[in-house]
Structure 1
Amino acid sequence: MPISGLALWRGGLLAVPVMAALLVACSPPMDGGPAAPTASSTAPSTTLTPGVSMAASTAPTVAVTTPTGVTKVLTIVLENHGVPAVTAAMPELMKLATTYGRTSHYSATTHPSLPNYLDMAGGSTFGVTDDEAPAVHPVAGPSVFDLALTTGHIARTYAEAMATTCALETSGRYAVKHNPWAYFSDAASRSACQVADVPLGDLTSGALHDDIAAGTLPNIAYVVPDLCNDAHDCPLATADSWVSGWVSQVLEGPDWQAGRLAVVVTFDEAEKTGENIVLTVVVAPGLHGAVADGALTHQSWTRWMSDLVGATAPGNAGSAPSLGAAFGL
């Protein structure tokens, strides 16, 4: 059966210093928590609908392991390409999709970029219809990142090419419109952003590399590539190589090896013509060729993150089907 109430299990959480107004103490590091079992490499491809686990959708005579123990999710958001373009030009991402799991009907919210990012972070577009900076669009209320902190969990954004923490203006290849936490303007949220919305670094050093290597990735890890590596200004092949490099590193790290980490790769929106359907890939222990066929949206990601940390989903995300539940997570 699908795994629910993940936030009730708090093993593996690691406290980091953030603003006292937001955090409560996290539980000690996990020493003996259950690692996710692995399924046989011969496990068949499985089609899932939201809320139906792999085991439930597989013939009774076939043994398939349901993923368990995921308490952390690392999400990479790419730019402006729908399923046909990604399928044709991102072979490494497609390998992950077919090896682990992918969606078949995941809708982005709208055009242009910023409303999609706000919808992920806050369960609403907040009436925003353009890509202006936080000074133009300050958003009241908590983001899903803030909600993680207030429930004693950890959230962190890793933004490539960002010069300082929680930068509120675009500079060089850093685009603030792709960094949603920077738009949430309540004092508590802004203070948390200044601590936990950090420059990404690179594959050899910096915040993301170090957290992967140490097994200290947060419960909600949100990765913002720069304007080239997210396929906004550069070819999809560039994004494919960038994602592959990071995912390869993640799969060697302690969080993945312990079975407590899933990885999501998605797109903010598709091209402006045609359906706004994007590919979302879910890499998690125990998934083998899974396809979530149900209708999902960016708020499905928000719902999963909220459930993961035991918070009430912000905005309208509480009524969305969970992306995690669609894969039995």
Structure 2
Amino acid sequence: MHIKYSLILLGGVVGSLATQIPPKHFTAPAAAPTDQSSFYVGGSNDTITNTPYVPGKVFDRFIQIWLENANFATAIADPVYRKLASKGILLTSYYGVTHPSEPNYIASVGGDFFGLAADSLTYIPSNISTIVDLLELKGISWSSYLENMPTDGYQGFNYTNPDGYTYYVRKHNPLVIYNSVGMNATRGARLRNFNDFAVDVNSNALSQWIFVTPNLLDDAHDTNVKYAGDWLDYWLVPLLQDPNFNSPNTLILLTFDENGDYSINNQIYSLLLGGAIPQNLWGTTDDTFYSHYSTLSTVQNNWGLDNLGRQDINKTLNNVFAFVADKTGYQNNGLTTENLPPLNLTGTYPGPLNPNDYAPYPPPTNGIGAGGGPTYFPPN
């Protein structure tokens, strides 16, 4: 059955995003990123509880930090992003998978965007699997941190802070969109805000797989790459020196969801950082072709996980980050900057979330992914 959902709010405050005027300059909400702040809204629910640590082949913790809507050339021209690139591996042929924002987010955790071509209130049925299913099968802990999300597992379409600005939007919280996570109370409690982050990092209790979403100002959505760069200087740069965040075996991906120009292919600034990057690779570039599906295949490869049977087994789109593949012996497809598939064709893919070209949710395709394990088929 095909169900259309209207844009409604589930228990929250609706802000008028179109009429808000963002500030011109970044203002730190607290003295340090490890401090709690009333700006982040709800107080922490105490330290997260994780499963025992599961060592990976190349890294033991993977942290994704997503920014918004900038061409590669725009980001790399900013001094903050250039400075960060001197401390990691710049991925010069990394691409978003479509436009606009929301389908990129859901693709990164579920292996497909199911034809979505809008930033809408979307619910993906509970029998559609995500990276969470694969991680939990191996006992690997996971969590997400969403800046200005008012309460853990919040289901609202957006949230307007007491100061009148709408900082948080559901479309940038990929796991809550999947009912197998968002509608599951235990899993939903692992979708946490930045007050929780402060408590968790100070308690050295961060999970092994982490997704970080800054608010609409700090991720450049309502501002620009310079504003987001100032936020990175405040938040990420000091955390790189904190062993509770950046251990010797931590891999950090700083990336954008999509570029800002729909007329060109979807190249975005993406950078690998963290203690897992050997110092001899700092300041280097990697022109291997990657997409948001590469985050799934790299994690699968590192921990020997099963696969979702979606684009994470698509040999064109699922290259593993080369510095990982080189250590594990995984063979990528050889694509770099030429003969790449078009990744800016918004609204052209049939699927259950495309009202103009509907197709039912397909079952997983049985195949072998970068982790070597079988395709995961959910019980229902």
> By the TM > 0.5 criterion, same fold?
yes
Scaled by the length of structure 1, the TM-score of the pair is: 0.73
Cα distance, 1:189–1:79 mapped onto 2, change above 3 Å: same
Q: Is the 8 A contact 1:304 1:324 kept in 2?
A: no
Using the alignment, how far apart are the partners of 1:213 and 1:260 within structure 2?
18
Q: Which SS does the other structure have where 2:179 is aligned?
A: coil
Q: What residue is the counterpart of 1:53 in the other structure? A: none
Q: Residue 174 of structure 1 aligns to a residue in which SS? A: strand
2:322 paired with 1:318: no
Task: Give the counterpart of 2:87 among 86, 99, 102.
Answer: 99
Q: CA 1:216–1:328 in structure 2 vs 1: closer, same or farther (change >3 Å)?
A: farther
Question: Aligned residue for 1:219?
Answer: 208
Q: How far apart in 2 are the matches of 1:284 and 1:17?
A: 23
Alignment correspondent of 1:134: 122
Work out which of the two has the higher radius of gyration on C-alpha atoms and give 1 or 2.
2
Match status 1:158 vs 2:184: no
Aligned-residue offset at 1:278: 0.3
Say whether the 8 Å CA contact 2:181–2:187 is kept in structure 1: no
* AA aligned opposite 2:64: T
Aligned partner letter, 2:145: Y
> Cα–Cα, structure 1 residues 308 and 81, in superposed 2: closer, same or farther, change >3 Å?
same
Secondary structure of 2:97's aligned partner: coil
Q: Tell me the amino acid that sits aligned with residue 88 of structure 2.
A: Y
Task: Spell out, residue by residue over 1:91-121, the C-alpha distance to the aligned partner (whole angstroms, 9 max, x if none).
Answer: 1122111331111111111111111011101
Letter in 2 for 1:322: V
Uncovered stretches (5+) of structure 1, i.e. residues with no partner: 1-14, 19-24, 35-67, 201-205
Report matched runs for 1:217-256 at 5 Å.
217-255=206-244
What is the rounded CA distance, in whole Å, between the counterparts of 1:267 and 1:129 in structure 2? 17
Mapped partners of 1:142, 1:308: distance in 2: 19
1:273 lines up with 2:299 in the alignment: no
Contact 2:93 2:287 in 1 (8 A): yes
Q: Is this contact kept in 2: 1:78–1:230, CA < 8 A? A: yes
1:292 to 286, 299, 317: 286
For residue 44 of structure 1, what is the aligned residue in structure 2? none
* 1:194 maps onto 2:181 in alignment: no
- Does the 8 Å CA contact 1:131/1:177 hold for their aligned counterparts? yes
Partner of 1:26: 52
Could you tell me which amino acid in structure 2 is paired with residue 293 of structure 1? D
* Partner Cα separation in structure 1 for residue 211 and residue 248 of structure 2: 19
Q: Give yes or no for the alignment of 1:184 onto 2:217.
A: no
Residue among 136, 149, 152 paired with 2:136: 149
Q: State the Cα distance separating 1:219 from its structure 2 match.
A: 1.1
Instruction: State the 1:256 CA deviation.
Output: 5.6
In structure 2, stretches of 5+ residues that fail to align are 1-46, 160-165, 328-380
| TM-score for the superposition, normalised by structure 2 | 0.64
Partners of 2:298 and 2:70 in 1: CA distance? 23
SS at match of 1:186: helix
Q: Does the 8 Å CA contact 1:77/1:225 hold for their aligned counterparts?
A: yes
Identity across matched positions, percent: 23
Output the CA distance in 1 between the equivalents of 2:89 and 2:323: 13
Partner of 2:39: none
CA distance in 1, matches of 2:183, 2:298: 20
- Measure, in 2, the Cα distance between the counterparts of 1:166 and 1:303: 26
Matched residue, 2:253: 264
For 2:198, what is the secondary structure of its paired residue? helix
- Cα pair 1:212 1:250 within 8 Å, conserved: no
